[in-house]
A and B are shown apart, each in its own frame.
Chain A
Amino acid sequence: MAWESVIGLEVHVQLQTRSKIFSSAATAYGAQPNTQACAVDIALPGVLPVMNHQVALMAVKFGLATGATVNCRSIFARKNYFYPDLPKGYQISQYELPIVSGGQLAIDSGNGEKIIRITRAHLEEDAGKSLHDEFDGLSGIDLNRAGTPLLEVVSEPDLRSPLEAVTYLRKLHSLVRYLEICDGNMQEGSFRCDANVSIRPYGADTLGTRTELKNINSFRFVEKAIQQEIQRQIELIEDGGQVVQETRLYDPLADETRPMRGKEEAHDYRYFPDPDLPPLIIEQAELEKVRDTLPELPDARRERFVHQYQLTPADADQLTSDREIADFFETTADAAGGDSRSAANWINGELMARLNRDNRPIGENRITPKALGALICRINDQTISGKIAKDIFSALWEGEHDVDGIIDARGLRQISDSDALEQVIEEVLGRCVEQATQFRDGQEKVLGYLVGQVMKATKGKANPQAVNAILRQKLSP
């Protein structure tokens, strides 16, 4: 039987604030254990939560950017469960009336644009961390993370393949970084994903029983975890079994999903409105103020890049997935005297390859848009050849920044002067008599070899077009 997979994602977006959602303790990552956990975070008796204004504004920003309804009145609720890293015995979350409902993201599904609906986005506090391995028979609890603001973004089960799921996730990641509401660091847990996965026969309109995959911490693992879980469910059902609704963890080493050791009745959270927190009210005027701060969003920017800079949609897509890269591109194109296509090629090609190789974000790269722009100008005015440009690019990558200085200091100027070139070409033809004869006999391809020899003899400095022309002239019957 042919099966269709149905996937919905729940993404925890850690909001990039200085202080926690309900206390004035700091949220900086990597502090010594429990040094950023105040009386409210560790739930001492008698303390009361006071909400961080910035958190509300960030949620509003997200709502506006996804075309959602921002609820002018939203309610905080208590989600009750017992775990040592949750000292109050409940997590403050939103249940019946979240701050954001509805909304959507458009993704590229491989054959056109597809709309993924966002059910809701609600605010909640994060829990602390438990460390199980270091203490004999005991667990260590670090409450620094307790109370860190999270926006949980819940999608409808509109995703139909692991690839669509990861495409949606990347889109969401790009969006929250554009909005500057989340640093997007998956290793540090600032952007975490749970996936609800089920399968059904193609064409069926009811949903199968789903399982929930928890805490998958990279884009690659999201795709693999969902892939494995779909495969497991198909094999289970085709062998006459049934999918059990449960929470599973993905083990990247074994590349398989496993049931989480059972927390009995863990899903009975007994939500109720938190009496410590009256309704959160967002005034229309405030909403409009946030709307004015919205940056140009990735989709709009991509469209603009295609038209303004004459880029292919694929190039524009790659350049706009990250706000900093897009900014880098625009400054480079400007510095390159408007040669936006070359700017796009250098950034999407050479620069991306090096960033990926060293696993560096663009912010930590030493090439400035000004220098890259200057390099492109020197290629275009034929001061240097494309081959030499790559060498200079390497020098820029290593931290040099004066393109003209490098060209002069190393004598890299392209040789276009035909007298100088003719000399070299004569010398090459003297050595390559056989190839010259082959070309005269009609073997066009040999010309490439001869150009290569000239380039080699000039250490890459010869102007290839000029060499081509002179060679043809000399070899013509």
Chain B
Amino acid sequence: MAISKSDVERLARLAHISIDPEEVDSYSSGLSRILDLIDEMNQTNTDGVPPMAHPQDIRLRLREDQATEPDLRELFQSSAPSSDRGLYLVPKVLE
């Protein structure tokens, strides 16, 4: 399966990363090679094999419902680029 140039551009947009236009071709062939490998794996018969959701055979650990975290706002906001009245400030987003 091939990843087209426009697929690469779209994926970059979704992931919020900028890529050099000259590199689009190499990304598209690199990503296509990964999909080729997956195509090859897809030829294995997996009838009756449950899909794997996690590579290790472990189950989720659970904790008791207790609120124990202290308020560390000041510490956290000391490394934020901008904050005011307890809020983190970011470039304006519109809904």
Residues of A within 8 A of B (CB): 17-19, 23-28, 32-39, 42, 44, 50-56, 75, 80, 82-84, 96-97, 130-132, 135, 137-143, 260-261, 265, 268, 270, 273, 275, 277-281
The reply to whether the CB of B84 lies closer than 8 angstroms to some CB of chain A is: yes
Residues of chain A within 8 A (CB-CB) of B77 are 34
Indicate which residue in B82, B88, B93 contacts A34 across the interface (CB closer than 8 Å).
Answer: B88
Indicate which residue in A27, A34, A260, A268 contacts B14 across the interface (CB closer than 8 Å).
Answer: A268
Indicate which residue in B54, B60, B69 contacts A275 across the interface (CB closer than 8 Å).
Answer: B54
- Asked if B87 and A33 sit within 8 Å, CB to CB, the answer is yes
- Asked if A51 and B53 sit within 8 Å, CB to CB, the answer is no
Within 8 A of A (CB), among B61-83: 61-69, 71-73, 76-77, 82
- Bound Cα distance from A279 to B60, whole angstroms: 6
Extra A-B contacts (18), CB below 8 Å, given A24-B63, A24-B69, A36-B71? A18-B67, A19-B68, A23-B69, A24-B67, A26-B69, A33-B87, A42-B76, A50-B62, A50-B63, A52-B63, A82-B16, A135-B87, A140-B88, A260-B95, A265-B10, A265-B13, A273-B53, A279-B59
The reply to whether the CB of B90 lies closer than 8 angstroms to some CB of chain A is: yes
- Asked if A132 and B62 sit within 8 Å, CB to CB, the answer is no
Residues of chain A within 8 A (CB-CB) of B64 are 53-54
Residues of chain B within 8 A (CB-CB) of A36 are 69, 71
Answer whether A17 and B65 are a contact pair too, CB < 8 Å, given A35-B86, A141-B90.
yes
- Asked if B92 and A137 sit within 8 Å, CB to CB, the answer is yes
Closest to B13 in A: A265
- Bound Cα distance from A17 to B28, whole angstroms: 47
Indicate which residue in A38, A39, A54 contacts B65 across the interface (CB closer than 8 Å).
Answer: A54
- Asked if A141 and B58 sit within 8 Å, CB to CB, the answer is no
Majority secondary structure, B binding face? loop
Closest CB of chain A to B78's CB: distance in Å? 12
Answer whether A138 and B63 are a contact pair too, CB < 8 Å, given A82-B16, A279-B54.
no
Closest CB of chain B to A372's CB: distance in Å? 37
- Asked if B68 and A135 sit within 8 Å, CB to CB, the answer is no
Residues of chain B within 8 A (CB-CB) of A56 are 62
Closest to A83 in B: B93
Residues of chain B within 8 A (CB-CB) of A18 are 65-67
Binary contact track B1-33/A, C-beta < 8 Å → 1, others 0:
000000000100110100000000000000000
Residues of B within 8 A of A (CB): 10, 13-14, 16, 51, 53-56, 58-69, 71-73, 76-77, 82, 84-95
Indicate which residue in A24, A143, A261, A270 contacts B88 across the interface (CB closer than 8 Å).
Answer: A143
- Bound Cα distance from A51 to B64, whole angstroms: 9
Closest to A76 in B: B60
Answer whether A132 and B95 are a contact pair too, CB < 8 Å, given A34-B76, A270-B14.
yes
Question: Which of A39, A80, A82, A141 neighbours the largest number of chain B CB atoms within 10 Å of its CB?
Answer: A141
Answer whether A139 and B67 are a contact pair too, CB < 8 Å, given A82-B16, A131-B87, A278-B60.
no
- Asked if A281 and B60 sit within 8 Å, CB to CB, the answer is yes
Indicate which residue in B51, B55, B87, B95 contacts A141 across the interface (CB closer than 8 Å).
Answer: B87
Residues of chain B within 8 A (CB-CB) of A279 are 53-54, 59-60
Residues of chain A within 8 A (CB-CB) of B72 are 38-39
- Bound Cα distance from A35 to B59, whole angstroms: 32
- Asked if A139 and B60 sit within 8 Å, CB to CB, the answer is no
Closest to B59 in A: A281
- Bound Cα distance from A186 to B72, whole angstroms: 29
